[in-house]
C-alpha cells in the first residue's frame, strides 16, 4: 500500500508539472505572439464633438467657425497580449464611399501603421477636410484592419470603423431621449432652432443625478420651441411635410 501511495503521489506531481508547463506555454504564446490589433472606439467617449454608434464615428463641421477647414481624428488601436520590445506594424484597408473623394474630403490615409515598442495602444490618424459638398451630403470613409506585417486581425467585432463627416447638423445621441414627447422626429432644422433657444450646441445630455431638477426648465424651453414652429408656417422637411414639435408633456 505504501508503494502504491508513493506511486500515486509521484504521478500526481508529474501531472502538476505538466499542467504548469502547459499553462506557461499557453501564456508565452498569448503574450509573445502572434500579436493582433483591433479598434477601441470606447476610448473616444470623452470627446463630446463626436457621435459614436457601434462601429461608426460621426463628426460635423456645422458647429465650427467658417475658418475651420480640417479636423484630425485619432482612432484608438489596441494590441492583445503585452507590450512588444519592438515596433509592430499593422495594415489597414481604406474604402471611401461613392460620394467621398481622397484629397477633397479627407487627406490620404496610409495603409501601414506602427504601434511603438513598449506600447499597447496607439492611434490611427485621419484628417478630414471641410469640402463644399458636405453642406448637403454626408461623406463616409470605411477602414478595416487586415492581416499583414507584424499584427494580424484581432477582435472580430472591432476590426472595422466607418468615419462619417458632414457640414450638416447631425442627430445627437441625446435626441432619442426627447424624441417621442419632446422634439418629435429628428430633423436638423429643429436642432438649429433649438440651439437659438437653449444656446451652445443645444446639448440635453443631462446628468441623471440632477435630471429631475433640470427637467422643468428643459420642458419649458421645448414648449417655447413648439410655439416658434406653430407660429411660423415656413418649416418643412425635404418632402414638403411641415415640421412640428409635439412638446406633449
Mean pLDDT of the chain: 86
What's the pLDDT at 191?
96
pLDDT confidence band for 208 (50 / 70 / 90): low
Res 80: pLDDT = 86
**CATH fold of 35-166:** Immunoglobulin-like (2.60.40)
* Predicted pLDDT at 7: 44
What pLDDT, on a 0 to 100 scale, did the predictor assign at position 21? Answer: 41
Mean pLDDT value of segment 8-19: 48
pLDDT at 111: 95
Other Cβ atoms within 10 Å of 11 Cβ, number: 10
Contact 105, 134 (CB under 8 A): yes
What are the grid coordinates assigned to 79, written together?
Answer: 494590441
SS (H, E, C) 145-185: EECECCEEECCHHHCEEEEEEECCCCCCCCHHHHHHHHHCC
pLDDT in the model for residue 233: 84
Look at strands 151-153 and 121-129 and give their pairing: unpaired
Say if strands 70-79 and 88-96 run parallel, antiparallel, or are unpaired.
unpaired
CA 203 to chain centre: 18
CA distances from 14 to 8, 22, 200 (A): 10, 12, 69
Contact 91, 148 (CB under 8 A): yes
Q: Which whole number is the average pLDDT over 30-35?
A: 55
Q: Kindly report the pTM of this predicted structure.
A: 0.75
Q: What is the pLDDT of residues 65-91, one digit of tens each?
A: 999 999 999 999 999 877 888 899 999
pLDDT in tens, 211-243: 566 888 999 999 999 999 999 888 999 999 999
pLDDT for res 29: 39
pLDDT, greater one: 158 or 21: 158
Q: Could you report the per-residue pLDDT of 132-191, keeping only the tens digit for each?
A: 999 999 999 999 999 877 877 888 889 999 999 999 999 998 999 999 989 999 999 999
Q: What angle (nearest 5°) sits at the alpha carbon of residue 105, between those of residues 55 and 70?
A: 90
| Interatomic CA distance for residues 116 and 216, integer angstroms | 51
- The two counts, helices (H) then strands (E), for the chain are 4, 10
- Measured from the Cβ of residue 32, the count of other Cβ atoms closer than 10 Å reads 12
Distance CA 57, CA 161 (A): 7
Query: Using CA atoms, how far apart are residues 162 and 144, in angstroms rounded to an integer?
Result: 9
Amino acid at each position: 500500500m505504501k508503494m502504491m501511495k508513493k506511486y500515486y503521489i509521484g504521478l500526481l506531481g508529474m501531472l502538476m508539472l505538466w499542467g504548469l508547463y502547459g499553462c506557461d506555454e499557453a501564456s508565452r504564446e498569448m503574450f509573445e505572439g502572434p500579436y493582433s490589433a483591433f479598434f477601441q472606439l470606447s476610448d473616444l467617449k470623452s470627446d463630446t464633438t463626436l457621435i459614436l454608434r457601434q462601429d461608426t464615428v460621426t463628426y460635423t463641421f456645422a458647429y465650427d467657425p467658417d475658418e475651420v477647414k480640417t479636423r484630425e481624428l485619432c482612432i484608438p488601436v489596441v494590441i492583445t497580449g503585452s507590450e512588444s520590445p519592438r515596433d509592430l506594424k499593422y495594415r489597414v484597408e481604406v474604402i471611401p464611399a461613392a460620394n467621398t473623394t481622397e484629397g477633397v474630403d479627407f487627406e490620404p490615409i496610409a495603409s501601414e501603421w506602427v504601434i511603438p515598442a513598449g506600447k499597447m495602444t496607439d492611434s490611427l490618424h485621419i484628417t478630414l477636410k471641410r469640402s463644399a459638398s458636405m453642406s448637403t451630403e454626408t461623406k463616409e470613409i470605411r477602414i478595416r484592419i487586415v492581416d499583414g506585417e507584424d499584427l494580424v486581425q484581432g477582435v472580430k467585432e472591432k476590426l472595422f470603423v466607418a468615419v462619417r463627416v458632414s457640414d450638416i447638423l447631425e442627430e445627437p445621441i441625446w435626441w432619442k431621449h426627447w424624441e417621442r414627447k419632446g422634439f418629435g422626429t429628428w430633423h436638423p432644422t429643429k436642432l438649429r432652432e433649438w440651439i437659438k433657444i437653449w444656446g451652445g450646441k443645444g446639448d440635453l445630455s443631462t446628468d441623471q443625478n440632477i435630471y429631475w431638477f433640470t427637467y422643468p426648465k428643459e420642458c419649458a424651453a421645448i414648449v417655447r420651441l413648439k410655439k416658434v414652429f406653430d407660429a411660423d408656417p415656413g418649416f418643412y422637411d425635404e418632402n414638403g411635410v411641415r415640421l412640428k414639435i409635439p412638446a406633449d408633456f
